[in-house]
Amino acid sequence: DAKTTQPTSMDCAEGRAANLPCNHSTISGNEYVYWYRQIHSQGPQYIIHGLKNNETNEMASLIITEDRKSSTLILPHATLRDTAVYYCIVLSGGSNYKLTFGKGTLLTVNP
């Protein structure tokens, strides 16, 4: 699976959009981009995933560049409860199921 690079930490004001970048320049054509988050002391929580097209669900939007070498997770209206570590993970398609968690980005949402 391709490696990912994320900033160590980011800040965001409550109510504003949080844009979390992820670089995955060695991604292959059949590899998915997954995002999880981990609120302090809790188990990780799935947010969203995509292959080529942009994706949106009730939690967030995922924007993948046309060359697929980077992506951005967007939380449209961040709240204090969105303060967490966000993990960007690249995973092969097919039967691959072993997520590799890096250190992620600590997003702090400030009042």
Partner 1 sequence: NAGVTQTPKFRILKIGQSMTLQCTQDMNHNYMYWYRQDPGMGLKLIYYSVGAGITDKGEVPNGYNVSRSTTEDFPLRLELAAPSQTSVYFCASSYGGGSYNEQFFGPGTRLTVL
With CB under 8 A as the contact rule, the residue among 8, 40, 66, 97 that binds partner 1 is: 97
Residue 87 makes contact with partner 1 by CB under 8 A: yes
Closest CA to 36 of 102, 108, 95: 102
Q: Considering the rule CB under 8 A, would residue 8 count as an interface residue with partner 1?
A: no
Positions 23 through 62 that interact with partner 1 (CB under 8 A): 32, 34, 36, 41-46, 49, 51
Residue 97: how many other CB atoms lie within 10 Å: 7
91 in contact with partner 1 (CB under 8 A): yes
Q: Please count the helices (runs of H) and the strands (runs of E) in the chain.
A: 0, 9
Question: Could you say whether residue 65 binds partner 1 (CB under 8 A)?
Answer: no
Place of tokens 């969203």: 48
